[in-house]
Amino acid sequence: MRAVTILLLLATILGPAQAPAETAAEASTDAWDCANADMSGYAIAACSRVIATWGAANPGIAWAFYHRANGFVAQHEYDRAIRDYDAAVALRPAFAQAYGGRGLAYFARGDYRRAVQDYDQSIRLDPLFATTYQDRCYSLAILGDTSRALADCNRALKLSPADPVTLDRRGYANLRRGNFTRAIRDYQAALAIYPQLDTALFGRAVALAAKGQRAAAARDLAAARKLNPEIDRQMAALHLKAPAGQ
């Protein structure tokens, strides 16, 4: 019954098309796995079959490109992800989540300005999605636009209060701005919710050291490095380095 229901739904969304090569059960399973599979490789394969079945130029298939792109992001294949997000927004220009996803892929490549452009478009299309404000906050802070970054993180927290990642990113924006006391407050709030958040431990260490609390900073650095041995390299790429001698 589920197979027939999903296939009929696909046919309604996609409109007339060539008869699928797959059976009803296979087509419905691929559609389900494309959007819901936990394993990225499995989702990518299912999405590819959906696209092949219904046609890559079919506007109703934009969602399959989007989910396949998410799979590529999970595998750190950002160029392939961006191509699929491109296809998704070409087929469905008002696809807010696809712009947000592409922004994340550009962020992962270190193209923060391009990421902000995609976040801008995503927010224009869906101004109530907290995660996109949070993501734009982080990119803007990395670029040094801390005023806009803080406004975005504040907006994200109004939409989704007590989110530890947003608090961590607002802490980073405050740290980049030189507001060490506020940064520490944000990092502490984030760590109260998620004690294993390595970026918050590292950021709080930097802020504590800036205020002369080097012993406390050393404890946070040790905890962050234990959780993530790559944390120093990762944060250095975001203009944040451990205090000298620590």
Q: Please tell me the distance from the alpha carbon of residue 102 to that of residue 66, in angstroms, as a whole number.
A: 9
Same domain, yes or no, for 164 and 239?
Answer: yes
User: 134 and 101 share a domain?
Assistant: no
Picking from 17-21, 157-161, 164-168, 208-212, which range would have the lowest pLDDT averaged per residue? Answer: 17-21
Output the domain CATH number for residue 234: 1.25.40.10
CB 188 within 8 A of CB 157: no
- Judge if 30 and 119 occupy the same domain: yes
Q: Which of 106, 126, 146 is the last residue of a domain?
A: 126
Residues 88 and 201 in one domain: no
Residue 229 exposure: Cα atoms within 13 Å on the Cβ side: 0
Question: Are residues 239 and 204 part of one domain?
Answer: yes
Are 50 and 77 members of one domain? yes
- At residue 186, the pLDDT reads 98
Same structural domain, 106 and 134: no
Pair (52, 71) in one structural domain:
yes
Query: For the segment 155-201, what is each residue's pLDDT rounded down to a tens digit?
Result: 999 999 999 999 999 999 999 999 999 999 999 999 999 999 999 99
**Residues 94 and 165 reside in one and the same domain:** no
Task: Work out how many domains the chain is built from and give that number.
Answer: 2
> If you search the block for the tokens 């507001």, which residue do you land on?
179
Q: What pTM was estimated for this model as a whole?
A: 0.86
Q: Which of 102, 126, 150 represents a domain boundary (last residue)?
A: 126
Are both 116 and 149 inside the same structural domain? no
| Last residue in a domain, options 65, 96, 126 | 126
Do both 112 and 166 map to the same domain? no
Same domain for 41 and 96, yes or no, is: yes
pLDDT of residue 84 exceeding 90, the answer is yes
Residue 12's CB: how many other CB atoms inside 10 A?
9
Give me the domain span that covers residue 8.
1-126
Q: Where are the alpha helices (DSSP H) in 92-179?
A: 96-108, 112-125, 130-143, 146-159, 164-177
Higher-confidence residue: 187 or 39?
Answer: 187
For 56, which DSSP code?
A: T
With contact defined as beta carbons under 8 Å apart, do 153 and 132 qualify?
no
